[in-house]
Structure 1
Amino acid sequence: MKTIKVSILIANYNNGEYFADCYNSLINQTYDNWEAIIIDDGSTDDSVEIIKKIISNDARFKLYENQINEGCGATKRKCGEHAVGEIFAYLDPDDALYPEALEKSVHRYNENDAIAATYSKMVECDENLNPQKVFGGTKQIYNTPYFFNCPIKITHFFTFKKEIYLKTQGINPYLRSAVDQDLYLKILEHGNPSFINEVLYYYRLHSKGISQQKSKQYAKESFARVIYDTMIRRNLKSINDERIPFVYKNSEEIYSLLKYQLSFLYRLKIKIKLFLKKVSNR
């Protein structure tokens, strides 16, 4: 296996109490060529002290601090600016990786250098990181300009080539929600992903989660705006014979454009295309 350095990018805000699980999942990886870039986004708890104590003198971990809270998008964007790996991967500080997550992801790049990214399944956990159920939405996708990850099919654990990321506009620093969705869509505009049909990511559900509980509606609105911006960036004029609005008005208008992708016939067509693609690659 070609040795590829992976940069694990961690944006933290008030999640220090959960960081030990994140840390332990990294030091127990079966693949050892990695670094972890951590940026604390002006936490108001004792996150920085906790993280410093946990990472101690381990040179693989590099901790930076925002003097004020800049938001998820700005902080995740900064993480990439400090990273030196060939492959980037975001890991939330309240989540964790399966021991073989990095090894299996790197293996895909070694198998096929043409891919731009990898993604896998994730398991939803309780506040103590006890697995509850595998998220059922994650599926192999057929990448086209009309794929918007709505409904969600690409989830964690998502890794991507740094060289591909640098071809994009980068993470939107003004986003405070739907940051990952925005990233996925930008990466897919420059190459195809490889689906690892295994659970590689522990996703913790708790009241502080940025995309959970009270924030769900805000995340839905943010995702709609991300989809609209993607449509404009891709220079699309219509979706399924419906005209894309010249100006963003509301989330309902955007989601209604994609309702056809929920139909049985559309999903069947995608399955057939994936099957034919698999046969042609044999």
Structure 2
Amino acid sequence: MNMPIISIILPTFNGEKYILQTIQSCIQQTFADWELIIVDDGSTDDTPNIIASYIASDKRIRSVKHPSNKKLPAALNTGFSIAKGHFFTWISDDNIFYQNALQKMLETLNKNPTTDIVYADMDIINDTGQKIGKWPVRDVKLLGYRGNTIGGCFLYRRNVHESLRGFREDFFLAEDYHFWLLASENFIFYRIKEPLYGYRQHDLSLTSRNDEIINKTQEMLKNTITITQKKWLKAGILVHMAVNYRLQKLYKESLKYLLRAFATCPVGVLLYSPKLFFLS
């Protein structure tokens, strides 16, 4: 196989319900010089057969299988460890790229050689694929304050992944947020204000596990705050932790972290977080 321009990683676990649509969205891209690496994370449903049928029909698709379920960050690390592309992205097994997604993101990176990461707005789709809302992503400076503002549609240069050494496998449910927080310390982001992706909202999606996500996010943020250098980012993380403590009704902890945020970067807190905190 020749060296592809873009490597797409598709981690899946029992994804038979939607993965066909996800794979088709990759195949139908207007930009065709890609490889798709599907990481089967121990599926027990018909997912392996679906994967096999696509591998047989398209040489750009290959797969690797975990003997047991190792969770999303491990599956991503497995996929990227064998990726050959100059640019990286990944997609969940229930979401879809729009046809021009890869082309638009790659063109943007090529036109902006100092940019390392591009990310794009998304549409929210339902169980049947119908558009039910919009998800405009936010400025990277809101990343600490408002959680994962990067969303699910992105493309970045290979050196970003290599520099960050992949995903922390102990931060399952917050692995992508952690990755973007670290990336924002040293790399340049560019937002594409156009929906290039369908994000599926359904009861089985990982983002429906709110309590688990809050707990794991708090654990991840406590770790990240110790290594963050930029004051605006550190203050944002502290505000986010304050909000999460407030959601958990731990009001003393919430106030403590909010005061720490003010002490770290008062301008950033006043600019980016008042509504987030007081209306949460």
Counterpart of 1:170?
Answer: 166
1:208: which partner in 2? 204
For 1:1-282, list aligned pairs within 5 A: 5-136=5-136, 138-142=137-141, 147-148=143-144, 150-212=146-208, 215-234=209-228, 252=245, 253=253, 257=257, 265-267=270-272
Name which of structure 1's ranges 147-156 and 99-108 shifts more when overlaid on structure 2: 147-156
Number of equivalences: 256
Distance 1:4 1:236 in 2: 35
Q: Give the CA deviation at 1:66.
A: 0.0
- The 3 A distance-change label for structure 1 pair 254 and 175 is farther
Give, in angstroms, the shift of residue 256 of structure 1.
Answer: 6.7
Deviation at 1:46, TM superposition (A): 1.6
How far the C-alpha of 1:220 sits from its partner, in A, is: 1.6
Unaligned runs of 5+ in 2: 246-252, 274-280
Distance 1:89 1:232 in 2: 28
Residue identity matched to 2:134: V
Take 1:11 and 1:255, find their aligned partners in 2: how far apart are those partners? Answer: 39
Deviation for aligned residue 1:51? 1.9
Letter in 2 for 1:162: R
Give 1:128 shift: 1.3
Q: Which residue of 2 aligns with 1:280?
A: none
Q: What is the Cα deviation at residue 267 of structure 1? A: 3.4
CA distance in 1, matches of 2:215, 2:152: 21
1:116·1:190 contact (CA, 8 Å) conserved in 2? no
Quick check: 2:119–2:192 contact (8 Å CA) kept in 1? Answer: yes
Distance 1:15 1:231, change over 3 A: same
**Structure 1 residue 43: Cα displacement:** 1.2
Tell me, yes or no, if the aligned pair for 1:118 and 1:160 is still in contact at 8 Å.
Answer: yes
Inter-CA distance 237–132: structure 2 relative to 1 (3 Å threshold) = closer
Deviations 1:44-77 (A, max 9, x none): 2121112212443311111110001111111111
Structure 1 contact 41–66 (Cα < 8 Å) conserved: yes
Q: Secondary structure at the match of 2:70?
A: coil
Q: TM-score, normalised by structure 2?
A: 0.81
Q: Sequence identity of aligned pairs in percent?
A: 22
RMSD, matched Cα: 3.2
For residues 267 and 39 of structure 2, what CA distance do their matches in structure 1 show? 38
Aligned amino acid, residue 230 of structure 1: T
Match for 1:155: what amino acid?
Answer: G
User: Following TM superposition, by how much is the alpha carbon of 1:149 offset from its aligned partner in structure 2, in angstroms?
Assistant: 5.4
Contact 1:124 1:203 survives alignment (8 Å)? yes
Tell me if structure 1 keeps the 8 A contact 2:55–2:61: yes
| 2:277 alignment partner in structure 1 | none
Which letter does structure 2 place at the counterpart of 1:219?
Answer: I
Is the contact between residue 15 and residue 94 of structure 1 (CA under 8 Å) also seen in structure 2?
yes
Deviations 1:110-150 (CA, angstroms, capped at 9, x unpaired): 111111101111111111111100024x123348xxx5252
Structure 1 residues 262, 230: CA separation in 2 closer, same or farther (over 3 Å shift)? same
Q: CA deviation at 1:176?
A: 2.1
